[in-house]
Amino acid sequence: MEAEEGRESLRRRIEAELAAEPELKAVFGRLWEGDQQSAEIAQRLGMGEKAVVLARRRLARRLKRLRGTGLEALGLNRNEVNEDGD
């Protein structure tokens, strides 16, 4: 139960950090829920796959200062985009 509270606290902290950027917050939410493929996230959010890849990169940079809090396990900086950019 304590671990669950810790995870939820971390999620709230990150979401507060992203409050001014709804696109990043949405991508983060999908990553948090376990979606890993950029194409899957794009489909769920109604975004282009390349936009998701770029958002993941921005998200990784934005959250860099929170390193050491378990963020690495989310795979925020995976560059999963087709060669043609879709």
**Tokens at 23, concatenated:** 């696109």
- 65 vs 80: CA distance, rounded Å: 24
What is the structure's pLDDT at 78? Answer: 54
pLDDT at residue 58 greater than cutoff 70: yes
Residue bearing the bigger pLDDT, 81 or 10: 10
Which whole number is the average pLDDT over 66-75? 58
Going along the chain from its start, the domains and CATH numbers come out as 2-74 (1.10.10)
33, 39 Cβ separation under 8 angstroms: no
pLDDT at residue 2 greater than cutoff 50: yes
pTM tops 0.85, yes or no? no
What is the structure's pLDDT at 61? Answer: 87
